[in-house]
Amino acid sequence: MTERIGVNTLSQFVSMCAVAVAVALTTAPGAAAAAPAKKKATASKTVRSAAKPRTVVVRRGGTSTRMAVARVAPAAVEAARPSFGQLYGLHETSDALDLKSSVALVLDQDTDEVLLSKNSQAVLPIASITKLMTALVVSEAGLPHDEWLTVTDEDIDTEKGSRSRLKVGTQLTRGEMLHLALMSSENRAAHALGRHYPGGLPAFVAAMNRKAVELKMRDTHFNDPTGLSSQNQSSARDLATLVKAAYQVPLIRELSTSPEHAVAVGDRQLQYRTTNNLVLNPHWEIGLQKTGYIAEAGRCLVMQARLAGRKLIMVFLDSAGKYSRLGDAERVRRWLTEASGGSAISPVSTHLPRY
């Protein structure tokens, strides 16, 4: 857009522009009310528009000068919240495999030999890895899997505001809820499982913590059955213990490694898929798995898998990047596969000093 402006000096012109912008922002009818609703949809367009300068013509005496004036830039987008691992400086730890997870542990399921350890003593939020303990408590309770459970308002996530395709009023069997919680990390399903436990949700969470004590998971605490709470925390060593215990339950092995599952909700079929694409990878023989993510925890993954002729338990916590936890698992697989062709595998161990 080109405008002709008669001013004596450049400084006067700049001052006039600033006043005009301020007046426009404070007097535009409905601007303040409309902005929040359109902010997300038009953010990229706003940035591009702000980067493109306006062309104006400044008249000084009998001459005109054409000049570009930058538009007022919008406020910077708020940076993503750092994970606990980032706040603790765990990502500063380097390792021989260049893992993107700040915490990692690989051990032999049968002998407990540690093949790889990186900050495995750190206690961090574990996100939906929690659902393995949820499944373990449900399984050991001996509750009927064909009993119908109903999703209610109580199952809506008020912690993180996450979405769910299980609308309030949805009825599924306990077995189907367990399937969706393990395979697709369905939060409302996991919450409903805890709420329908004898004694309700408080009794269920208490049972989760009792089981952790029984398994000697000394660095572990649970606050809810979904993992949406950042107060659900554990260490890689404790989670390896949890994976080993959950692996003893055939149903948890089966449901956690299921690639997809459809459930009937009224007259509709809802198709769910695994959150771990390694389950579909022919290079992997996975016996149990669970993924997890909340901002405080970063990307997490635990698995039981057969690699290099051994049953291994793998734990990756606080991985930065959407696919980096799977990439870390692949790095470990290649390392173990290559090492198994030669001499004995040399354990890798890296830790930050305690603080």
The residues carrying an active-site annotation are: 128, 131, 185
Per the structure block, which two tokens stand in for 311?
């049953």
Question: In angstroms, rounded to a whole number, what is the distance separating the alpha carbons of residues 206 and 225?
Answer: 10
